[in-house]
Amino acid sequence: AFEARREDFYGLEADYPPESVQARDMVRQWVTDHIRPQAGSWWLEGRFPTHLIEEMARLGVFGPTLPEVYGGSEASALTYGLMMQELERGDSGLRSFASVQSGLAMYAIYRYGSEEQKQTYLPRMAAGQVIGCFGLTEPDAGSDPGAMRTTARRSDRGFILQGAKRWITNGTLADVAVIWAKDEAGIVRGFIVPTDTPGFTAREIHTKASMRMSVTAELYMDQVEVSPDAILPAAEGLGAPLGCLTQARYGIAWGTVGAALDCLDTSVTYTKSRIAFGRPIAATQLVQERLADMLSEVVAMQLRARQLARLYETGRLRYPQVSLAKRDNARGALTVARMARELLGGNGISVDYPPMRHLANLETVDTYEGTYEVHTLILGRDLVGENAF
C-alpha cells in the first residue's frame, strides 16, 4: 500500500485506460528483469545493451503511436508516455535510445517522408532491425541549430552532403542517419543517409561522465553522395527538425518521472532500513522532510506529464507547453535525484544504487533537447511576444 501510494499519490491512474496500464506494467516488468540488475555495470563500462534491442522492439517501444501499417500499434500519447517513464526508471540512456529511434528518426520519416520512404524504413525500424539516429547538433551549433554549417548541394546523381554533427545519440549504432543540412538557398532540408555510404564516418565519444549507458557520437560527412530519393520531401525549413524535437521532448517529460520515482522508491526503502543513532533514519524529521519534498516534486512532474498527454490526444498541444514540461521535469528529476543521493550517504555515490547514476544522466537530460535556458526563452517569447534569444 505504501508503494502504491507514493507511485500515484494523486490517484491519476484511476482514469488511465486498461491498455495504457497494461503497456506500462509490461515495460516495467521487463526493465526490472533485464535492465535493473545490470544497469550499474553497463553504465560504468559505458556500454548500451545492444543484445536487447530486438526485445525492446517486441515490447513495442519503437514508434508505438504510428499506424499499424508502419509497424506501430496506434498507441495513445498516454501509453507512449508511460512506456518512456518505465524505460527511464531503468536508465535515461535506455529511454534515450527509444526516444531517438521513435520520436526523432522514425517521426521525421513518418511526418516528412514519402510513402515509399515510410514503407521502406518504418516497419523495419519498429522491429529494431534498422536503427536510426538524428543529426541536428553540430560542433558549433547546438542551441541555435539555425546556425548549422552542414550543406547539401544538388549533383547529377542526387545530393552531396558536407559537414559534421556532434553529440549524436546512437551515432555509431545506426544503420540510417536523418541528417539536417542547408541547401544552396540556405533552407534546412532533411536526408535519410545510410551510414555505410562512402564518406560517412561515425566516431564514438568516450569521455562522457553522464548518460554512460547510451552511445553518443560525432558524425563526419565528406562529400557524401546520396540518391535523389534520400531527401525528405515534406521537410522545408528549421521548423521540420524542431517539429521532431517536440515529439522527443514530450517523451522526456514522461521519462524523467520514471527516474524520479526510482529515486524516491530507493530513498524510502533505504532510509527505513538504515539505522543511525539507534533508529531508522526514516524516523527522523529531517529525513521525512526530504522525502515529502521529493514526493511533492514527483507529483508536480506527474501532473504536468498527464496534462500534456491530454492536450496531445485532443489536438491542443502547443510546443511551448512541451517546453515547460521538458524544462521543469528535467530540473525536478535532478532535484529529486540529488536529494536521494544525499539520503543514501556514502552509498549514494556508488552505482550499486541508482540515484547517482540517475543524477549524472539527468545532467544530460537537462541539456539536450533544448537546455533549461532555451526553454525558458521559448516560454518568455510565448508570454510577451519578444524574441530574447
Catalytic site residues?
369
Cβ closest to ligand FAD, residue 131 vs residue 295: 131
Q: Compute φ and ψ for 163, nearest 5 degrees.
A: 150, -170
110-138 in b/e form (b: 16+ CB < 10 A) is bbbbeeebbebbbbbbbebebbbbbbbbb
- Decide if residue 380 touches ligand TGC (CB under 6 A): no
Task: Give residues 82-121 in contact with ligand TGC (rule: CB under 6 A).
Answer: 96, 99-100
Sole window of 151-159, 189-197, 242-250, 284-292 interacting with ligand TGC (rule: CB under 6 A): 242-250
Sole window of 115-123, 313-321, 344-352, 364-372 interacting with ligand FAD (rule: CB under 6 A): 364-372
- Decide if residue 389 touches ligand TGC (CB under 6 A): yes
- Decide if residue 98 touches ligand FAD (CB under 6 A): no
Range list of β-strands (E), the chain: 132-135, 151-155, 158-169, 176-182, 188-194, 200-204, 216-226, 275-276, 279-280
Question: What CA–CA distance (Å, rounded) separates 172 from 216?
Answer: 8
Contacts of 222 (CB under 8 A, 6+ apart): 162, 199, 201
Task: Give residues 211-270 in contact with ligand FAD (rule: CB under 6 A).
Answer: 211, 216
Q: How far is the CB of 84 from ligand TGC (least distance, A)?
A: 10
Q: How far is the CB of 347 from ligand TGC (least distance, A)?
A: 28
Question: What CA–CA distance (Å, rounded) separates 137 from 367?
Answer: 12
- Decide if residue 273 touches ligand FAD (CB under 6 A): no
Question: What CA–CA distance (Å, rounded) separates 131 from 174?
Answer: 5
Partner in contact with 122, chosen from ligand FAD, ligand TGC, none, beta carbon below 5 to 8 Å by kind: none
Contacts of 338 (CB under 8 A, 6+ apart): 359
Partner in contact with 373, chosen from ligand TGC, ligand FAD, none, beta carbon below 5 to 8 Å by kind: ligand FAD
Query: Cell triple for residue 175?
Result: 544503420
Task: Give residues 295-334 in contact with ligand TGC (rule: CB under 6 A).
Answer: 319
Q: Which amino acid is at 196?
A: D
Binding mask 107-146 toward ligand FAD (x if CB under 6 A, else -) reads: ---------------------------xxxx----xx---
Cβ closest to ligand TGC, residue 145 vs residue 158: 145
Among 199, 243, 280, 380, binds ligand TGC (CB under 6 A): 243
The three-class DSSP label of residue 140 is: coil
- Decide if residue 345 touches ligand TGC (CB under 6 A): no
Using alpha carbons, select from 352, 329, 330 the residue that is nearest to residue 266.
Answer: 352
Query: Cell triple for residue 355?
Result: 540515484
The three-class DSSP label of residue 294 is: helix
Partner in contact with 283, chosen from ligand FAD, ligand TGC, none, beta carbon below 5 to 8 Å by kind: none
Among 67, 139, 146, 345, binds ligand TGC (CB under 6 A): 146
Using alpha carbons, select from 282, 284, 250, 263 the residue that is nearest to residue 333.
Answer: 263
Number of chain positions touching ligand FAD (CB under 6 A): 20
CB 106 within 8 A of CB 125: yes
Using alpha carbons, select from 289, 214, 288, 304 the residue that is nearest to residue 256.
Answer: 304
Binding mask 149-178 toward ligand FAD (x if CB under 6 A, else -) reads: ------------------xxx---------
CB 325 within 8 A of CB 372: no
- Decide if residue 164 touches ligand TGC (CB under 6 A): no
DSSP state, 138? B
Partner in contact with 237, chosen from ligand TGC, ligand FAD, none, beta carbon below 5 to 8 Å by kind: ligand TGC
Chain residues that interact with ligand TGC, rule: CB under 6 A:
96, 99-100, 134, 136-137, 143, 145-146, 169, 237-239, 242-243, 245-246, 248, 319, 368-370, 374, 378, 389
Chain residues that interact with ligand FAD, rule: CB under 6 A:
100, 134-137, 142-143, 167-169, 211, 216, 364, 367-369, 371, 373-374, 389
